[in-house]
């Protein structure tokens, strides 16, 4: 996990109430190729994983299902 982003309530894409939207940014390497992905997460997930955390993600139909520490 390489980054975290937050959109404040009322910003483009975020709702007008609540705490806003939270995103984790993941970087995946395959040989010389590198890809970055940005997925919306809950506040608890966003707070739990600081930048640089090694994590394992589970996707379903291109949507983030789960984030766990990579042991």
Q: What is the 3-state secondary structure (H, E, C) of the chain?
A: CCEEEEECCCCCCCCCCCCCEEEEEEEEEECCEEEEEEEEECHHHHHHCCCCCCEEEEEECCEEEEEEECC
Q: What confidence score (pLDDT) does residue 37 get? A: 93
User: Looking at the predicted structure, is the pLDDT value of residue 16 above 60?
Assistant: no
Average pLDDT estimate for 15-38 = 85
pLDDT of residue 55: 92
Rounded to whole angstroms, how far apart are CA atoms 53 and 37?
Answer: 15
pLDDT of residue 44: 92
Any idea which residue has 């980054």 for tokens?
3
Distance in angstroms (rounded) separating the CA atoms of residues 3 and 18: 22
- The residues spanned by each domain of the chain are 3-69
pLDDT in tens, 37-52: 999 999 999 999 989 9
């Amino acid at each position: 996990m390489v980054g975290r982003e937050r959109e404040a309530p009322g910003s483009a894409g975020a709702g007008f109430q609540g705490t806003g939207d939270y995103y984790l940014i993941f970087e995946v390497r395959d040989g010389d190729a590198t890809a970055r992905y940005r997925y919306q997460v809950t506040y608890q997930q966003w707070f739990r994983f600081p930048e640089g955390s090694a994590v394992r993600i589970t996707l379903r139909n291109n949507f983030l299902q789960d984030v766990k520490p990579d042991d």
